[in-house]
Amino acid sequence: MSTDGGTAAGAHGSAVNTGADTTGTESAGAETQESGTAAAAAPLPNSLRFPHAEAVFGTGAHGGEVAHFAEPLREQRQLARGQALADLSALRVLRLTGPDRLTWLNSLTTQKIDRLAPGTSTETLVLSPTGHIEGWLRLVDDGEALWALSDVRTDEAVEFLDRMRFMLRVEITDVTDGYQAVGFVGAPPEDLDAAVVWDDPWPAIGEGSASYAQIDAGAPRAAASHPGAAVDFRIAVVERSVLREWPHEGLAVAGRDAWEALRVEAWRPGAPEVDHRALVGELDVLRTGVHLAKGCYRGQEAVARVHNLGQPPRRLVFLHLDGSGHVLPRAGAEVRAEVRGAPRAVGHVTTPALHWELGPVALALVKRSLDPEAALTVVVDEGAGGAEGAADDGRNGSAEAELVAAAQETIVAVAKERAVTAPPRNADVDARRR
C-alpha cells in the first residue's frame, strides 16, 4: 500500500516545469492515488518563491512540490549546513481547536498529549485495532490550537478522528489551502513569520517511551552516536500570503529529495516506511511517537503485546549500496539474501537516496530473522523474466534481474529483551502439542 508521504529520494522527479516565473505561484502536476485509498489526489499548491524553470517536480500528490533543481547533492549539502530550506509543500496542514482538543486526541492516539505544553513538539500515531499504523501526525500546540502535519493516509485518519468527536468541544480543520510547510535543518531565520515551528524530537527517547534500536535499546536516553543526533529537523508552518512575499535572502531552495536523503542518513522513519503491515516496533518509532504507560487507545493492546511478550516480524535497516554501476533502486525494490542455498526475497527498499557524503544508501524493511551479517543484493532492474521468471524457478525474482550489492547496518535490533516473561506452559491443562 502506498502512502501520501515523500517518495524515494532521487527517484520521484519526473517533469520540468517550463514556466519562468520566480514568484510564489501555485504549481500544479499530475494526479496520483491518495495513500490508502483508490481516489486520485491532486497535487497541493506551492507558494514558495523559486526559479520554476529550473525545478524538477515530483509526481502525483507531489506534483506541485520540487523534487530537485538538477543538483541534488549540492542541495543536500546546503540544506545540511543551514544554507537552504526544503520544499515540503506536499505535507497536509491540520488545525485542531476547542478546549477538549488535547484530552480528546490523547484518548485516540499513541502519544501522551493531554498536558502538552504550548510550543512543545511531539508526534502521535493513529493505529488500527491490530496495531498497524493508519495515520501519523506531527504535533505542536500554540496555546489556542493544536497544529498537525500529516503525510500518511491523511483523509482516512481525519475521517476516523472526526467520527470520534461525539459531543466533545473540538473541531478539525484542514488549512492546507492557507498554510504551507517549509523544512529547515536548524532554526528557521528570524525574518520568517511562521504560525508555528515543529521541532522534530528524533532521536530522543521520550518519557514513557522506549528504543527498539540496537544502538541504544533499553537505555533511558538516546545514544550520542545515533545518526539522528546530528540532524536537527524543523518544519515551519507559514501562511501562504506570507510565504509568497518572503524573499528568503541568503537561503537557497532545496527539493524534497535533499530532505529525504538527510532523513535516511538520520535513520528517521517516515511516510515511505509505512505500508499496510507497518507496526511501531518495526520502525523504532516508539521512541518519539508512543507512550507505553498512558491510558487506552485504539491499537494499544497490540502494541503492549508485542512490547511485553513478542518481537516485531520485520525490522528497519540502513543499507550501503554498491555505487559502481551508477544506478539507484526504486522504492519497493526487492532485497535478497541467500536462503537455503538460493537467492530469495527477505525485504524491500522503502527510501533510496544518493547522499552527498555517504553515496548510494537506503532504508529498508527486512525479515527480523535475517542474519545481520548476511550478504544482500537489491534488485534495480527486474530483467526480461520479471515475475514469470520467479514463478518458473520457484524463487523470488528472475535470473536476468540486475542487482547491486548491499551491506546492512542494523537499526532495529534483531531481538529485544521481553519486558515481561511469559509463564511456562502447564502441560496438564494445555493440550497443545500433546
The cell numbers describing 332, all together, are 519497493
pLDDT at residue 365 tops 70: yes
Angstrom distance (rounded) from CA 185 to CA 385: 44
Would you state the pLDDT for residue 43? 85
- pLDDT band for position 265 (cuts 50, 70, 90): very high
Contact 360, 322 (CB under 8 A): yes
Residue 73: which H helix or E strand, with range? Answer: helix 72-80
Contact 220, 205 (CB under 8 A): yes
Strand order in the sheet with 56-57: 15-16, 56-57, 66-68
Angstrom distance (rounded) from CA 146 to CA 171: 10
Contact 120, 197 (CB under 8 A): no
Would you state the pLDDT for residue 382? 75
- Choose among 259, 271, 263: nearest CA to 149: 271
Would you state the pLDDT for residue 61? 86
Q: Pairing relation of β-strands 334-339 and 92-97?
A: unpaired
Q: Which residue has the higher pLDDT, 107 or 421?
A: 107
Contact 390, 396 (CB under 8 A): yes
Would you state the pLDDT for residue 104? 97
422 secondary structure, DSSP code: P
- Residues of the chain above pLDDT 70, percent: 82
Angstrom distance (rounded) from CA 251 to CA 228: 23
For the stretch 119-128, pLDDT in tens is 999 999 999 9
- Choose among 211, 367, 191, 398: nearest CA to 288: 211
Would you state the pLDDT for residue 189? 97
Tell me the average pLDDT of the chain.
87
For the stretch 288-306, pLDDT in tens is 999 999 989 999 999 999 9
Angstrom distance (rounded) from CA 315 to CA 408: 11
- Choose among 28, 36, 29: nearest CA to 5: 36
When computed from its CA atoms, the radius of gyration of the chain, rounded to whole angstroms, is 22
Would you state the pLDDT for residue 416? 72
Q: Pairing relation of β-strands 252-254 and 84-87?
A: parallel
Residue spans of the domains in the chain: they are: 1-312, 314-410
Contacts of 203 (CB under 8 A, 6+ apart): 213, 222, 226, 228, 229, 266, 267, 268, 287, 288
Would you state the pLDDT for residue 310? 86
CA dihedral 323, 335, 354, 252 (to 10 degrees): 170
101 secondary structure, DSSP code: H
Q: What is the DSSP string of 198-210?
A: EE--TT---TT--
For the stretch 29-58, pLDDT in tens is 333 334 444 344 678 889 999 999 999 999
Helix/strand/coil (H/E/C) assignment for every residue in 257-317:
HHHHHHHHHCCCCCHHHCCCCCEHHHHCCHHHHCCCCCCCCCCHHHHHHHHHHCCCCEEEE
How far is residue 228 from each of residues 60, 234, 265, 266, measured CA to CA in Å? 29, 13, 7, 4
Could you tell me what percentage of the chain is helix, strand and coil, using 3-state DSSP and rounding each to the nearest 5?
Answer: 20, 30, 55
Q: What CATH code would you report for 1-312? A: 3.30.1360.120
Contacts of 385 (CB under 8 A, 6+ apart): 392, 398, 399, 400, 401
Would you state the pLDDT for residue 418? 54
Would you state the pLDDT for residue 14? 38
- pLDDT band for position 27 (cuts 50, 70, 90): very low
Would you state the pLDDT for residue 252? 98
For the stretch 50-104, pLDDT in tens is 999 999 999 988 999 999 999 999 999 999 999 999 999 999 999 999 999 999 9
111-115, 129-133, 141-145, 419-423: least confidently modelled range:
419-423
Would you state the pLDDT for residue 381? 84
Contacts of 208 (CB under 8 A, 6+ apart): 112, 291, 292, 293, 294
- Residues of the chain above pLDDT 90, percent: 78
Would you state the pLDDT for residue 383? 66
> Average of pLDDT values for 402-419?
88
pLDDT at residue 25 tops 70: no
CA dihedral 83, 228, 194, 355 (to 10 degrees): 40
For the stretch 219-250, pLDDT in tens is 999 999 999 999 999 999 999 999 999 999 99
Instruction: Report the largest interatomic distance among the alpha carbons of the chain, rounded to a whole angstrom.
Output: 79
Helix and strand numbers (H, E) in the chain are 9, 21
Architecture of the domain delimited by 314-410: Beta Barrel (2.40)
pLDDT at residue 410 tops 90: yes
For the stretch 125-143, pLDDT in tens is 999 999 999 999 999 999 9
Q: Which residue has the higher pLDDT, 9 or 296?
A: 296
Contact 122, 201 (CB under 8 A): yes
